[in-house]
Amino acid sequence: MLSDLLQTGTTTTNGTLNYGLLFLTLNPDIQKKCQADIDAIVLKHLTPTLEDVEKMPYFQAFVLETHRLGNIVPNPIPRTCPKDWRIRGYTIPKGSIIFSNHYSVHMDKEYWGDPEVFRPDRFINEKGEFVLDKRVCHFGFGKRICIGITLSNAVIPIFIATLLQNFNLSCVPGQKPPTTET
């Protein structure tokens, strides 16, 4: 059980942090806007807290966009249908293996318009507020949703906000910039 928690928790959190730092490095303007959000709320000699993060609309939008485009768990654990199930005119027979496809939801062109673009502003409304979009389903759904949500939602923003408060991230001069291709 402990090894399950360690494995599921480390690869996902580590992967999301890697993507977050990569997106910031490749998008200096977005990085500056995140730093402006952090500097407006957190005094220089203090470390950002979760309460602080809740007051940073652009930074929250940046974290959600990292989950969307990072697609750390594109095809989660398959599930077995426990009984015949009818949904929207379809019958799913008992015993069917169900695969959900988070990647297709996160990259749906019809819904997002420009899914390939890293654009935190898609989660900011006209009043400048952060708007959570439940289409970003990186933790899964329903009864078997990820049990590490609270931990990840604390670790990821605080880790990145603390780094951004103290450092600027940039590509190494004279070297090819890193790529988001795997």
Binding residues for heme, by number, are: 146
Q: How far is Cα 167 from Cα 94, in angstroms, rounded to an integer?
A: 54
Contact yes or no for 97/79 (Cβ under 8 A): yes
Question: The tokens of 119 are what?
Answer: 């654009």
Q: Does 8 bind ligand HEM (CB under 6 A)?
A: yes
End-to-end CA distance of the chain: 30
Nearest distance in Å: CB 13, ligand HEM? 5
Nearest distance in Å: CB 20, ligand HEM? 10
Nearest distance in Å: CB 80, ligand HEM? 12
Quote the Cα angle for 160-161-167, to 5°. 85
Residues 33-92, interacting with ligand HEM (CB under 6 A) = 72-73, 76-77
Q: How far is Cα 30 from Cα 8, in angstroms, rounded to an integer?
A: 29
Helices (H) and strands (E) in the chain — how many of each? 7, 4
Identify which of residues 38 and 72 has a Cβ nearer to ligand HEM in the complex: 72
Residue least distant from ligand HEM (Cβ): 148
Q: Look up residue 29 and give its amino acid.
A: D
Indicate the helix (H) or strand (E) that contains 90: strand 90-92
Number of residues that bind ligand HEM (CB under 6 A): 22
Q: Does 98 bind ligand HEM (CB under 6 A)?
A: no
Question: The tokens of 134 are what?
Answer: 């439940």
Interface characters, 141-170, with ligand HEM (x: CB under 6 A): x--xxxxx--xx------------------
Identify which of residues 68 and 119 has a Cβ nearer to ligand HEM in the complex: 68
Q: Does 136 bind ligand HEM (CB under 6 A)?
A: no
Nearest distance in Å: CB 98, ligand HEM? 10
Question: The tokens of 1 are what?
Answer: 């059980």
**Residues in touch with ligand HEM (CB under 6 A):** 4-5, 8-9, 12-13, 16, 72-73, 76-77, 138-141, 144-148, 151-152
